[in-house]
Amino acid sequence: MDWIDRIRTAAFMKSHGRRAPHVPKAAPGYVRCAAPGIKRVEGRRGFSQNESLENLKLLINGLEMVKIKAFYISHQMKGDIKLTWKDVVKEALSNIGNSGHLEDINSQIKGHWKTETNPTWKDTVRRTLQQYSIFYQEEKGSGIWHLREEKPFEEFDPKKNLNPQHEDVQGMLLELGKIYGYETSAAVNDAKKKFMNRPLEEVATIKEFPEHFSYPKIVDIVSRIDVLWFGGDTDMLIPEYAFEIEHTTDVTKGLARLHDLYKSGQRTRLFVILPHEKRGKFDKEIGRSLFRDIKEICKVKTYEPLIALYNMALEHDLQKANFFDK
């Protein structure tokens, strides 16, 4: 019995007052689908028999009409529930000296439990290498891939940086997202800008912007949002947090991009980050009828609390690594 059948059985038995069998958790990331008559199914990272019966029923109905990419996680795999294809490929490259041909990477991954539920896993490995900035090629088309060394950032000293720049705020948001376990992207037109002497395209974890979560026109607009945090796996990346930084630019343009993202059906958490002196301009703009749909859900934050959170997160991440990994 696969995981879909188990969910179907559990929902039926619970609805009839009977004890449901164990339902294994779904794959890492969000399972989202839509179908005629169903607004949206949003599952947290995994379902269990004790979670919302209505979500289970909606998911089951949606399964009949929509192709959903998901993976069955057996009891033996519980320790790897959050393992992504990025993790798998990173480990494979690490095992062969942080550099190797695609064929050697595939040889390392062959037989991994994630390949058992993905008949096109080699294509997924290739897309994973192309998707994330941690993997790179010195010569494109060579088939040789390298694992980029991840260097820790330093704290951002507000006393030495009295006037943080747009790219400074982007860099802090990108690093925060990574610390919190998200995949991150910077606006495509800002890729070459630098944060602490590193290009934003290397600070961001995503190299190729995901295109599957909405229509091409929306994807093009969203790719220009200053910073995005994504949840999910290689073929299932969904924007969960969106940040527009209004340093010197017009607040209206950033709000318009966030509005377009929201109207596309994505229930992404929306934020505007700005200097405190621009707060009045934001309040005026968000009050326009044009933005009434996001007025109550778009949060505004200033630079000071962001810098404080960034520095605390860096310290916490360091202490966590020292405690658990060393």
- Give the span between the Cα atoms of 106 and 110, in whole angstroms: 6
pLDDT of residue 298: 96
Residue pLDDT tens, the chain, 326 long: 444 445 544 544 444 444 444 444 443 333 444 333 333 344 444 444 444 445 544 554 544 433 333 333 333 333 445 789 999 999 999 999 999 999 999 999 999 999 999 999 999 999 999 999 999 998 888 999 999 988 888 899 988 888 899 999 999 999 999 999 999 999 999 999 999 999 999 999 999 999 888 889 999 999 999 999 999 998 889 999 999 999 877 789 999 999 999 999 888 999 999 999 989 989 999 999 999 999 999 999 999 999 999 999 999 998 998 899 87
pLDDT of residue 130: 95
The pTM score is 0.74
Let me know: does 255 contact 298? Beta carbons within 8 Å. Answer: yes
Q: Which of 238, 237, 234, 235 is nearest to 90 (CA)?
A: 234
Q: Is the dihedral of CA 217, 264, 206, 160 positive or negative?
A: positive
| 24-50 core/surface letters (b: 16 or more CB in 10 A; e: else) | bbbbbbbbbbeeeeeeebebeebbebe
Q: Which of 214, 226, 212 is nearest to 255 (CA)?
A: 226
For the chain, which residues make up each domain, given as ranges? 3-75, 83-147, 166-319
Question: What is the CATH class of 83-147?
Answer: mainly alpha
Q: Token digits for 116?
A: 């058992």
pLDDT of residue 76: 36
- Give the span between the Cα atoms of 164 and 302, in whole angstroms: 11
Let me know: does 68 contact 236? Beta carbons within 8 Å. Answer: no
